[in-house]
Chain A
Amino acid sequence: MLFTSLEFYVFLVLALILFAVLPAGKRWAWLLAASFLFYGFTQPSNLLYLGAVTLVVLACARALERTAHRSARRTLLAAGLTAVLGSLVALKYYDFLAGQLSLPVLGLKAPVGYSFYAFSAASYLIDAYARRLPAHSPAGHVALYLAWFPKILAGPIDRATNFLPQLAGGLRADPARLVSGLQLIGWGLFKKVVIADNLAPIVDRSFAIAAFASPIDLLISVYFFAFQIYCDFSGYTDIAIGISLLLGVQLLENFRRPYLSRSTAEFWGERWHISLGRWFRDYLFIPLGGSRAGPIRLYLNLMLVFLVSGLWHAGLGYGVGWTFLVWGALNGAYQWAGVAARPVWRRVGEWAPRLRESTALLVLRVLLTFHLIAISWIFFRAKSLGDAWLILKKIALNLVEIPSLLPRFPFTADHYTAFALIAFLIGIEIVDERRSIFQRLAAAPVALRWGIYYLAIIALLLLGRWQAREFIYMQF
């Protein structure tokens, strides 16, 4: 069930009605059943994978609770992680590697959302090992944490330390959460069906025929893809967080206006897919020694994190291929450059503190970061390394001539709509960066607030593409 489909909203209304009539302490049981129904709706076999992961997690966590011996606990953790993450690796990569190494292809395929709940499961096991979890969580609560239908397909990768305590006292929705939830659902839908899905056909067309597309076409598509993937993914997580709020659960924040980042470190660490970034930070980067193990280890750790992140992203709608490894390596290289430039940056701060804080430099840094990320997205979106290289080459070799060719480019109404939507999004994000749009709305007179809501609904009706285009990250 897609968040943009009619059947999902029928399902959601039924879920909300039963949620409202049940006593707060029993609601989790209904939501667990609803989550299983949601996940197994189109592919019942999905439930086998979810069930297996849940059983592994419960068995290992219970055993960890009962075991005090350190080496036994380590063995249990290793066994649990091997089962969960090993199955993820096997399902995602076996056939790809078998094809490369001429081994028999088994037709393995990870079920939708597996990358996300496998990481939630891994974080649960590591937190159980580190005794960071609330003691004696009921098995049903743990199952609900893994199966929670708003997030199971594409995150956020919530932590049990955030999720389980909310179930302990019974789930309740208050008016403020309801309003926030509906606002987020509306904004998420707008980003997905109005912005992302209006950009998608232009992007798809150029990337499909990269060899024949003009450099301007490719350049426009690279810019559009940067906004398409942002609106697609952040739209999904806004809806997921919004629905969770309607059901009394506050999920972790996942996006914070990423294209306003001043560095790629800020982009990946604080603003883009925050729940995944923190997962890598807490469960990979820090255990490897993080930034405290010396400069060489720091560089190695950074690159390793981004290479693993690249592997995790492979299969996301655009197949499993080497492009994702290059994408990870390129972002790792950006981090290296950022670390190497730190002393220079510090000196600039000492010599000219005003320059460092000036708006002009801030805008330059934001633009530079955006372009670095946009270049890396080419490897993410292209069909092959050859295509990615070709796109980069065509744009780079014609960059000087592009401004003079622009007036003759056959812009269509779809292009103008896309430019207007991107400009609108950037405007909203800049305003939101200073003070939350939702806070501003709450302080606005009712007539203005409602007027904005109705305009958003009219835009969804008139401009939205509702023909069930899948969310990109759901295909991981």
Chain B
Amino acid sequence: MRALLKPALLFIAIGVAIYAGLYFAAERLMLRTGHTNPFFKIATAREGAFDWVILGASHAMPLDFADFNARMERDTGLRILNLAGPGTGPLYNRFVLEHLLGRRRVRNVLYVADAFAFDSRTWNEERFADAKLLRRTPFEPAIAARLWDYALREGVDVRAVLDYASGFSKINNRERLQRDVWEGEAQFERVYRPSAAAVKKRVAYLYPEPVSEAARARYLEQLAAIAALARQAGARMVVVKMPVPAQFREQLPGEAAFDAALSRMLSAQQACYADFSAALDEPRLYFDTDHLNRAGLTEFVNHRLKAMLVSRDCAPPPAPRGGA
């Protein structure tokens, strides 16, 4: 057996060197193909402070589709960084914000709230272990340390830390040559044809477990922690709910209870809150069951969001006459 030890150690050493080479190549390739991942955006953003940072799940993502973020920056004269991610709940959003605030000055935080993201571990603790997110997150010791901290304190799977630190998902990325674009971005110009079956399927996907008060309370606490982080960093926090079609909104379970709990928590935190969920009902303004397309987003931003971004006022702008 001892005769095996030396060649075995040499074999392992060469293997580790090969692995390190693959890791390095995968990291470089990821930096070339990166686009949507919030940590990639932080790592590659221009120097300087941000007037607005946008956090939330996929409903906030169209604000950064195609040229939209650049257009909003041009129209408002503000610097905006959109760090929303698909299916990311408040725990993951907090993780992103902590990292950002450690390296950049932020004046305002716009949090796009979705009830589903406050209802399940799927969109919070379990989201950290998603290979699709991990493989596009640039390696930084600070992120690894924070992830480890989240594993210890917040119940994030330790495998997510191991995966991130070892770069396994990056090396094993089957889409390594493709640009990191969320599939919704390709449909941004599309017009949605209403379908009750599609809405039902989508709602079932967003709510994998029955709505639980305990889960909501836990993730509302995470939102409160985000508000506290923003306050400590001297940033103002504004929470909004994005418009969704009536057909979709009516199928959401426990939405009224969530709205009430959210309002209570936000008034305690003295954060601004505006509910735009019923602002645009027409299906032609969406590219799928619940995401605004270019036309819808243009209408929403021009008539609602822009005023909020440029104002220091908490009150949501009034609805434009005869329209949204």
Contact = CB atoms under 8 A, between A and B. Distances in A.
Interface string A433-459: 000000000000000001001100110
Nearest to A414: B174
B1 A6 contact: no
Contacts of B260: none
A458 B22 contact: yes
Contacts of A461: 19, 22, 168, 171-172
Given A175-B4, A458-B22, 9 more contacts: A6-B159, A175-B1, A179-B4, A453-B11, A458-B18, A462-B172, A464-B172, A466-B168, A466-B172
Nearest to A450: B11
B215 interface: no
Interface residues of A, number: 16
Given A462-B172, A464-B172, A457 B3 contact: no
9 contacts: A6-B159, A174-B1, A175-B1, A450-B14, A458-B18, A461-B19, A462-B172, A466-B168, A466-B172
Interface string B144-173: 000000000000000100100000100110
Interface residues of B, number: 16
Contacts of A458: 18, 22
A412 interface: no
B158 to A, nearest CB: 9
A465 B4 CA distance: 31
Contacts of B131: 467
Contacts of A392: none
A50 B1 CA distance: 35
A124 B4 CA distance: 38
Contact of A454 (B18, B162, B168, B171): B18
A454 B4 contact: no
A454 B172 contact: no
Contacts of A6: 159, 162
Ranked 6 nearest A-B pairs via Cβ: A175-B4, A461-B171, A6-B159, A454-B18, A461-B172, A175-B1
B234 interface: no
Given A175-B3, A464-B172, A457 B15 contact: yes
Contacts of A465: 174
A309 B168 CA distance: 41
A462 B4 CA distance: 28
A458 B22 CA distance: 9
Given A178-B4, A461-B22, A461-B172, A454 B15 contact: yes
Contacts of B14: 450, 454
Interface SS of chain B: helix
Contacts of A457: 15, 18
Contacts of A175: 1, 3-4
B71 to A, nearest CB: 35
A174 B14 CA distance: 24
A6 B131 CA distance: 14
A299 B225 CA distance: 74
A462 B29 CA distance: 13
Query: Which among B11, B131, B159, B172 has the highest number of chain A CB atoms within 10 Å?
Result: B172
Interface in A168-210: 174-175, 178-179
Interface string B12-26: 001100110010000
Nearest to B176: A462
Contacts of B172: 461-462, 464, 466
Nearest to B177: A413
A178 B162 CA distance: 27
A462 B171 CA distance: 6
B28 to A, nearest CB: 15
A453 B10 CA distance: 13
A464 B169 CA distance: 11
Contacts of B11: 450, 453
Nearest to A446: B7
B123 to A, nearest CB: 18
A464 B19 CA distance: 15
Interface string B227-264: 00000000000000000000000000000000000000
Nearest to A464: B172
B133 to A, nearest CB: 14
B266 to A, nearest CB: 38
A464 B11 CA distance: 21
A467 B132 CA distance: 11
Interface string B48-82: 00000000000000000000000000000000000
A458 to B, nearest CB: 7
A240 B65 CA distance: 49
B289 to A, nearest CB: 22
